[in-house]
Structure 1
Amino acid sequence: MLPDTKWTTGRPNIAPGEGLHQAIARVALLRPDAIALVSGGRRITYADLDRTADAWGALLAETGVGRGDVVPIVLSRGPELIIALLSVLKTGAAYALLDPSWPEARVGEVIELLDARLLISDSANRPAPRIWSPPRHPVEPPPTFRAATVAGTDPSNVFFTSGTSGRPKGVLVPHRATLRLFQRNGFARFTATTVMPLAAPVAWDAFSLELWSVLVNGGTSLIIDEPYLSSAALRAGVAEHGVDSVWLTSSLFNMIVDEDPGAFSGLRQVMTGGERLSPRHVGRFLGEHPEIALFNGYGPVESVVFATTHRITAPDAARPDGIPLGRPVPGTGVHVLDGGRPCAVGETGEICLSGAGLALGYLGDPALTAEKFADTVIDGEEVRVYRTGDLGAWDEDGLLRFRGRADRQLKIRGHRIEPAEVERRIERLGPVRQARVLARRDDAGTAVDLVAFCVPTEAGDPLEGVPRLLESTMAAYQRPAELRSVDAFPVTAQGKLDERALLAMLTDPPAPGGFRHEDPTVRLVAETFAAVLGRTSVPADRSFFALGGDSLGAGRVCARLAARSASPVPVSRLYRHPTAAGLAAWLASAGPEPADVRPDAVEVPLTPMQEVFLTRHLLTPDDRTANCLLLWSVEGDLDRAALQAAVEEVHWRHEPLSATYAADPRPAAWLDDVPPPALEELPPQPALDAGIRVLRETLSARLEPAKGEVWRTALVEAGTMTLFGCVVHHIAFDGFSQSILARDLAAAYNGTTIDLPEPPGLAEARHRSALSRDDVLAQETQLAKEFDGVPDLQWPDAPRQAGQEPGRVEVTLSPEILAEVDALAAAAGRTRFVVLLAHWASALAEVTGQRDFAVGVPVSQRADPALEHAIGCHITTVPLRLRGAALDGDPELLGRIVTRAFATQEIPLRDILNRLNRPRSARPPLFQAMFAVQDNPIPRLELAGLRTAFLHQPYIDLPLELHTELWPHEDGGLRAEIAYRPEAVPSRVATSLARCFLDRLSAGPRS
């Protein structure tokens, strides 16, 4: 059944039909001494706010401002801005907040569109007929001044958004559109005790959410003097001012969850939206802050701020179709239509909105207003609706679900962008015959920036001057991060623009320069810049923003530097000192320099494989591909205290588990005695499946090896048994370590650790190459020649399903099949591994139709017998290039390739890639698939007096696109498990590979 789209409100705290300024005046009358605004050391009461706005309103009225006018305001976020917009409303006019960072040309364009008689600004250098500057000294309102009485349907303000015509669109909204949201018993709780930061861009409708939700309810607005709300500012707001509510774009929410999740502590409610939410980040937030209400908010500016909201719960983060958009907010009707027909539950249609939240229309564009705000007959009643262009569907629970866009419109960091507007600008300003603007997306499918592909007017016309011209006419979030000249646009077989082919042209070469500066603080900042930008190095004298950094990247830089320096690093400081050298100088003057050494710790260099894991963690902190998960079921009376003691004993027994893995001052493991993890006990679950799910969710949260959090343990009661699990970061762990961990935990629990051999320490266990420098150079040259030009694997019908967990297909190789495999291996003088790899590679070639590709093979580096008792990362990955006859299933030929490749295992993969100089890609470099025969012992947790079983678990995430691993089966055979990333590999391809592999092995030995 469809949800009821009628609306109701709770006990009114806002008089029906009043205006925003009238609601504030009523609060000032009832609570004159309550604090309305906090800005730095300033405290402004409601009485002062209302009285000053009256005084300024009287001065504006004297200039002729009144009903029917729209007054643009260009002021920085601060008390004067709030007083100015209130004073405009008190004249009966509407306001339009313009961002001070906008180029003058854009400001002038907007003022022309508004046909404004004056501009409120504290700068005389603005393109306007007349500048009105706020008084610098207190003024009192004249006794004769009376604020205008307005109706809820009268205009209150104009928001500007992107337009397909190449010019911004002005969305004119009435007072009631904003006020409808903040009635009591609405979608969230806003009261006189609410304290909320005011940090959104002033020209955005989220600014209205942050400001009016507080002021019309008598709460306190904390004005943030930063480009946006950083985690440091959030922490300070909670600690110093009692901030309890916050709005964050989903990108900013993700950034704080990644970099400083503890910053949310103390909040009562968090509202997020603006873009599709990341279930991974939502899940982590709810896991760490279950007491905080988290709301997803959806709505275009044409239905102010929110049209729907949803209180997010933990199960929402596991839904395959993402976080719901939710249900209508008060004063809003939500309709999913196919033309004019309401869609049934589960049927996709266009999301259309009605009710008090709708804008009055587009300023100066009656044709577009009539097109987008149409009268539609719904259930026999004529309703004025706004057609959003978003696609959605109702689910069985009456929740609205997002299904994409019907046009090209997109959002970047919450800002709505029409690529067509950017294209028209480029074509008008530059020597460009045709432009196409596309979004560059991250692994989760979120648009992170824009790229413009341009066909020059004449061949060879330079584009160097175009970015500067765009800077002078467009807001920063609209400007492409990269302009690429192309001779012509590629098209598909159907004659449509091939966007995938265009995006494939992009490369991002490392910036020149490197970490050569001797100053440790400069080096720290430069390394942090590089990690956030995804580069290998950055020069110390180049601006972070010129290198491709954006506002959220700046937040990540500051959060990481704050964590390293143990003192806040405001985002505004990075904007003022955007180079590594400049920010380092400020850091040095603001507090102690970060230490270049750890005086009480022992340093052990990392292996190349460990450096890969650390680099991946630093570049993508939320990456979970290195989380190694182990679960056991336990039947009987488990002694919790003994298990916790066993965890602690194993932690101190194996140095890799108690080390910190850091990149500064050089990549190393530091033995600085990190405390052991607590054994976390989760709420009981009714059955085994539910227990496994909860345990996986808990253990899936990211680890922090750079902070010494290498492993985590937890248990949960599930029906009649207990589940015990742990997760260990791959930087300190490998497949062989699983059985050692299980054995040592059991021995510690049973009190028999004294019988175990002493494991070697980190320094003793480190694998050391015996190759000379000449040998290394020779092997690097050989490998560069071998892998030159190797193509990436091309998966048939590659899907686009970002954000899903890895898929898995299993087949069983019976003992009879293995016997035939071993016979073939003996006849060819090769190993079982080579025969299995030969048949798998042949199957992969058949399924993909590709006769040349590379695959990765993990190789153990535990030749030292002492390592049989050591937990740690003692592996490397060897690439194999397979082509031609090597893909025909001949084990003898493939064996020669494997032998030659294994002889070069001392050469790190990064050195091979550096020699090849392959273009950067979002896909895994060199090889996208891996093959492994896991002949490690099963990790048996044999606890005295208890029955236990190891529960093999699928991977949390995959570093490559497809993994094939063969595990021992209880019947003496092997279980072939093919795990794949759904956003890269179709499920039918993985299934076909599994069947083809099994069919080839079942056909019997072949020579």
Structure 2
Amino acid sequence: MARARPDAVALVHGGTTVRYGELDRAADGHATRLAALGVGRGDVVPVLLPRSATLITTMLGILKVGAAYALLDVHWPDGRVQEVLDQLDARLVVASAEVSGRTTWTPPATLDAATLDAGPADFEPVEVDGGDPCCVFFTSGTTGRAKCVLTPHRAIVRLFRPGSFARFDADTVVPQAAPQPWDGFALELWSVLLSGGTSLLVDEPYLSAQTLRDGVARHGVDTAWITSSLFNMIVDEDPAAFRGMGQVMIGGERLSAPHVRRFLAAHPDIVLLNGYGPVESTVFATTHRISAADCDRPTGIPIGRPVPDTQVHVLDGTRPCEVGETGELCVAGDGLAIGYLGADDATAEKFVEVTIDGVPTRVYRTGDTGWWDADGLLHYAGRRDRQVKVRGHRVEPAEIERQVERALGARRCVVLPRRDAAGTVDGLVAFCVPAVDGDPLVGARDALSGVVVHYHLPDVVLAVAEFPLTGNGKLDEDALLALVPDSAVYVGGLAGEQDPLVVQVARVFAAVLDQAEVSPDVAFTALGGTSLGAGRVCARLAAELGRPVPVSRLLGNPTARALAGWLRSTGETGGEDTAPPVDVPLSPMQVGFLTRHLLEPDDRSGHCLGTWIVDGDLDRQAMNAALARVHHRHEALRAAYSPGRKPFAKAVDVPAPELTVMDEAPSVDAAVSALRAELRQQLDLRDGRVWRAALVPLSGQGGVFGYVVHHIAFDGWSEAVFARDLAAAYRGGLDHAPGLADTWSLRQDYLRHADLERQRAWAKEELRDLPQLVYPVGPDAPDHEPGRVEEVLTPADVAVLDAAADAAGVTRFVALLAAYGRALAELSGQDDFAVGVPVAQRADHRLHDVVGCHVDLVCVRLRGDAGSLTHVGDLVRRAFEAQDVGFGEVVRLVNPPRSSRTPLFQNLFAYQDNTPPDLPLDDVATRFLRQPYLGLPTEVQTDVWPTDDGGLRVVVGFLPAAVAVGFADDLAKRFADLVRARPETPEDAS
């Protein structure tokens, strides 16, 4: 990837972006230093670094010298670190100076990662084969010691080849949030680095809903791996956080069908995959794309079919089981680990050779049970031993029992899983017979927190005099679990608390913990809260306060009082000091719309139309009431837009538009024509009259209903929101949406995190000396309604386009733009020009349900091979990475030669894949009619609209006074022909 796409973004961490070429050169520097210290093929190098670009380059440097990396957690207790280092028998550990300086473990030679950036960039990597060690993962063991799972290269590579269980390509962006010692870390990282995508390094303890939403909005995250427990939490607390995703992989524990069902109902277009596989078979052994029907299976959601180069056998001893017969799941193939480091007996016990269909086969005995159904789907039945999954971590209770006995000096300990109503393990309880009779073990959990890793820490530690037994003499687990109190009781509630913010936070704590009241001065974890519970707290506070609350902030401010103090100190809780302005500044796009409206009163390029054919008698009184409710809900529709040195908008008490009922028309065509004439009338932005609605009845029954809203208060996304809200209001219900000031604040909060200086520098360099695109001139006549030419692309045509896009690793939009650019180049004879592309500016989910102008334009300069998908994909990526700098500011930065034409570009290209506007009204049927524009902002505007059958409709609009109709016709035809033909891919050019 570094050679093929050196400028592509490999890593994003905070404000730091690392491209593939930079990543490769830094890794060479690491490798050079490691090789000089004698690290070579077959060695294992432990790494103790926080999540960072340095961590990734260190790993790559280790691999380049032929060694294997073992990622340790910087938050592990020193005892755990020492134990693992002893097992790895490593002579060198890579760690940061900060980590090395605070440890009590005795390391081998320590190499400071900060010194590893130096070195020549011409390092020749050591050749390895697929069976050589690549990395070490850590899992639980029954002896009280961690198991070090040694994994080969082929085990990881097999997962991410083309045609694997999910789509991994150059457009894939995956958040890297899994704990570093997990094999989930390998899934998140190597799925993109082996495919040319981008890894977003997450600083939060795990992938919270807010982190996921920000990743989608700011970095284009489209793929994520989420444990079942975390998935359930996000579905419960903030299901809209998934919006914009393309595929979500879940697993690690038994899935909750109700949560999956709610997710699929809310996000039917997102691919949801169930993944199963122990760490010894590397990430996934099987996957299954989940459907709504799977949620109704009485045996649970299937775990699916084997991933590439992997086989799964259901065995009774060594005998393969029949379809429907339950047996042990045994995994074979390239995903198997080499074995356990320093544990030959355990390796021999779990990795065995069995004869299957006459062929000796090495398998890993998982200890899980399952069965095949008649459709060839694998179903999970449970464990054969005591092992459980707790919040995604595989845990051996026996290991924790040994750790607790050593740490507390207890005579005996029994650790049992505690399950929620769905049967999922949501925590652990340790029952101990103390060394001294009657010792209540006060503070035992705090003592354990400094000894065991966080996922081994019991939620509750209880002292018992003896262990109850059943009539058969076995441990009575139900009787032990009955001793656990439903909820802890803590001294000091909220009585007398005067700070309303502290009360609010404490009440959210209590609600998540299912307690009546909690003390504001007791840490959330001490109250019994878990890490996922912390995620629920932050999600609920974010919803109540209307601002992000990162999980890391709760962990750093663990009491309700401390968290409330942080919320107040950041100045974002709605206090007077941070109240947004009443006169809300306009965005650069809105300033442009207002300027054009004032200077060219007859211009209609800012008029946005919506039209429905109504079959039945519309309740005009209900519609008038609905228009008023929508008007009141969305401040953008009742705002005055004022010019001046600093143009602004201000919500005003302007009445809602009355439904204009026109004369009956004899036909739909006549009604549409009359409606267009009515909606062409001028709007008055300065007085807050930015929209109107009208109805043209048809002779007999039904009619044509429509609206016009000025673009200064509307955009393509708003169409569906407006229609949905109008339908809800027609039925009598609608609440309020965020106001102008709120949406302005959300945008400012987003921009505070954007790397604007880098984006400005890119714009000045990329768009310097940009030529104008010259069209054949149309007739010398004044502008009237735009001309338009249409072409239809069938679903088969689109399939050809999508196949080419997939092969080149680009999106459908890029493939369309490449064909469009090539058509323009051929017809104009120019190989350097720009195309304007509208982009939504709705990064925050709270803007998703708001009518308003939240859009800007990105200038994509097409030069060189405008038809090459990979080339155009790279141009689009760079342009979109700079979209936070508004188009108006870009024009000022570039300062192109002034003319009467649109600066920088003279045409727009839009792939109009917004949600279609649906208007379900009681007792009448409606059908949306996409009308031609009343005006165009540029000389040519090309829109590509998806059709219901999976095809595309291409509409080339043009200004007849500026562009010859023959050119527009040729452009539409040539564009469609290039789409129908297979666009050029890298393989064609080689």
Matches of 1:43 and 1:645 in 2, distance apart?
A: 53
Residue aligning to 2:108: 129
Deviation at residue 94 of structure 1 after TM alignment: 0.7
> How many pairs were matched up?
594
- 8 A contact 1:36–1:218 mirrored in 2: yes
Q: SS where residue 206 of structure 1 aligns?
A: helix
Tell me how far 1:588 sits from its aligned partner.
1.1
CA distance in 2, matches of 1:749, 1:55: 66
2:239 counterpart of 1:239:
no
Contact 1:271 1:296 in 2 (8 A): yes
Deviations along 1:606-638, one digit per CA (max 9) or x if unpaired, are xxxxxxxxxxxxxxxxxxxxxxxxxxxxxxx99
Identify the residue that residue 782 of structure 1 maps to in structure 2. none
Q: 1:465 to 1:566 in 2, by over 3 A?
A: closer
- Which residue is equivalent to 1:973? none
C-alpha change, 1:523 and 1:384, in structure 2 (3 Å) is same
Q: Which residue of 1 aligns with 2:148?
A: 170
- Residue 112 of structure 2 aligns with an amino acid whose one-letter code is S
In structure 2, distance between residues paired with 1:478 and 1:547: 18
Residues 689-704 of structure 1: matches in 2 within 5 Å?
Answer: none
Q: Say which is worse superposed, 270-279 or 462-471, in terms of deviation.
A: 462-471
Aligned partners of 1:365 and 1:749: how far apart in 2?
Answer: 70
Which residue among 524, 530, 553 is the counterpart of 1:573? 553
The answer on 1:182 being equivalent to 2:160 is: yes
- 8 Å CA contact 1:238, 1:244 repeated in 2: yes
CA distance in 2, matches of 1:394, 1:108: 43
Shift of 1:469: 4.2
2:55 aligned with 1:81: yes
Question: Residue in 1 aligned with 2:272?
Answer: 294
Aligned partner of 1:444 in structure 2 is 422
1:472 Cα offset (Å)? 2.8
AA paired with 2:490?
Answer: A
Partner Cα separation in structure 1 for residue 225 and residue 621 of structure 2: 40
Q: Which one-letter code corresponds to 1:133 in the other structure?
A: D
Change (3 A) 1:590 1:392: same
Amino acid of the residue matched to residue 545 of structure 1? T
Distance in 1 between the 2:205 and 2:556 partners? 11
1:265 maps to 243
Asked if 1:326 is matched to 2:304, the reply is yes
| TM-score in terms of structure 2 length | 0.58
Equivalent residue in structure 1 for 2:402, among 396, 407, 424: 424
Q: 1:332-347, aligned counterparts within 5 Å? A: 332-347=310-325
Deviation of 1:234 (Å) = 1.0
State yes or no: 1:160 paired with 2:138.
Answer: yes
Match of 1:560 among 517, 527, 540: 540
- Once the two structures are superposed, residues 384-405 of structure 1 have per-residue CA deviations (whole angstroms, 9 ceiling, x without a partner) of 0000000100111111101011
Structure 2: gaps spanning 5 or more residues: 577-613, 630-728, 733-921, 925-990
Cα distance in 2 for partners of 1:539, 1:133 equals 43
Which whole-Å CA distance do the structure 2 matches of 1:640 and 1:482 have between them?
65
Q: What SS is found at the alignment partner of 2:91?
A: coil
Identity of aligned residues (%): 57
1:460 match: 438
Distance of 2:731 and 2:230 partners within structure 1: 48
Report the equivalent of 1:372: 350
CA distance in 2, matches of 1:644, 1:325: 54
Cα separation, 1, equivalents of 2:574 and 2:477 = 45
What's 2:844 paired with?
Answer: none
| 3-state SS, counterpart of residue 28 of structure 1 | coil
| Larger displacement relative to structure 2 (581-590 or 436-445) | 581-590
Q: What do residues 766-808 of structure 1 show as CA deviations (whole Å, max 9, x unaligned)?
A: xxxxxxxxxxxxxxxxxxxxxxxxxxxxxxxxxxxxxxxxxxx
Matches within 5 A, 1:610-621: none
Q: Supply the distance in 2 between the matched residues of 1:67 and 1:365 (Cα, whole angstroms).
A: 21
Deviations, residues 154-182 of structure 1 (Å, cap 9, x unaligned): 00111111100011111100011011000
Please list the CA deviations of residues 733-785 of structure 1 after superposition, one character each: whole Å capped at 9, or x if unmatched: xxxxxxxxxxxxxxx9999xxxxxxxxxxxxxxxxxxxxxxxxxxxxxxxxxx
Per-residue deviation, 1:494: 1.6
What does 1:319-718 align with in structure 2 at a 5 Å threshold? 319-464=297-442, 466-507=444-485, 508-516=487-495, 517-593=497-573
| Aligned ranges 1:167-246 → 2 under 5 Å | 167-246=145-224
Report what 1:955 is aligned to.
none
Alpha-carbon distance, 1:537 to partner: 1.1
Q: What SS does structure 1 have at the residue aligned with 2:548?
A: coil
Counterpart residue number, 1:63: 37
One-letter code aligned to 2:225:
W
1:654-703 superposed Cα distances (whole Å, 9 cap, x missing partner): xxxxxxxxxxxxxxxxxxxxxxxxxxxxxxxxxxxxxxxxxxxxxxxxxx
**Contact conserved, 1:750 with 1:944, CA < 8 A, in 2?**
no
Deviates more, 1:507-516 or 1:581-590: 507-516
Match status 1:72 vs 2:46: yes
Q: Find the aligned partners of 2:264 and 2:383 in 1 and give their Cα distance.
A: 28
Q: Take 2:375 and 2:124, find their aligned partners in 1: how far apart are those partners?
A: 50
Offset, 1:944: 11
What secondary structure, in the 3-state scheme, does the structure 2 residue paired with 1:30 have? coil
Alignment of 1:244-255 (within 5 A): 244-255=222-233
CA offsets 1:402-424 (integer angstroms, 9 cap, x no match): 10110000011100100000111
Q: Note if contact 2:506-2:518 (Cα within 8 Å) is conserved in structure 1.
A: yes
1:42 aligns with 2:8: no
For the Cα contact (< 8 Å) 1:528–1:557, is it kept in 2?
yes
Task: Tell me the TM-score normalized by structure 1.
Answer: 0.57
Contact 1:429 1:466 in 2 (8 A): no
Mapped partners of 1:52, 1:316: distance in 2: 46
Provide the C-alpha distance between the structure 2 equivalents of 1:750 and 1:71, rounded to a whole number of angstroms. 66
Q: Which runs of 5+ in 1 are unaligned?
A: 1-26, 597-636, 653-747, 752-942, 946-1007
- Cα gap change, 1:644 to 1:499, in 2 (>3 Å): farther
Give the match for residue 878 of structure 1. Answer: none
CA distance in 2, matches of 1:585, 1:944: 53
State how far apart, in whole Å, the 1-side matches of 2:443 and 2:542 are. Answer: 37
Q: 1:51 touches 1:140 (CA, 8 Å); kept in 2? A: no
| Superposition deviation, residue 470 in structure 1 | 2.4
The whole-number CA distance in structure 2 between the counterparts of 1:52 and 1:294 is: 36
Deviation string for 1:801-838 (max 9, x for gaps)? xxxxxxxxxxxxxxxxxxxxxxxxxxxxxxxxxxxxxx
Q: Find the counterpart in structure 2 of residue 305 from structure 1.
A: 283
Q: Find the aligned partners of 1:429 and 1:290 in 2 and give their Cα distance.
A: 49
Report the secondary structure of 2:169's partner residue.
coil
Q: Distance in 2 between matches of 1:592 and 1:78?
A: 28
Q: Tell me the secondary structure at the aligned position of residue 294 of structure 2.
A: helix
Deviation at 1:30, TM superposition (A): 0.8
Q: C-alpha root-mean-square deviation of aligned residues, in Å?
A: 2.8
Structure 1 residue ranges, 4+ long, deviating more than 4 angstroms after superposition = 637-646, 748-751
Cα contact 1:431–1:461 (8 A) shared by 2: no
Cα offset, 1:460, TM superposition: 1.9
**CA shift in 2, pair 1:529/1:750, >3 Å:** closer
CA contact (8 A) 2:30 2:117 kept: no
* Displacement after TM superposition at 1:52 (Å): 0.6
* d(CA) in 2 for partners of 1:292, 1:493: 51
Instruction: Quote how far apart the aligned CAs of 1:558 are.
Output: 0.7
Superposition deviation, residue 515 in structure 1: 2.3
Q: CA deviation at 1:431?
A: 3.1
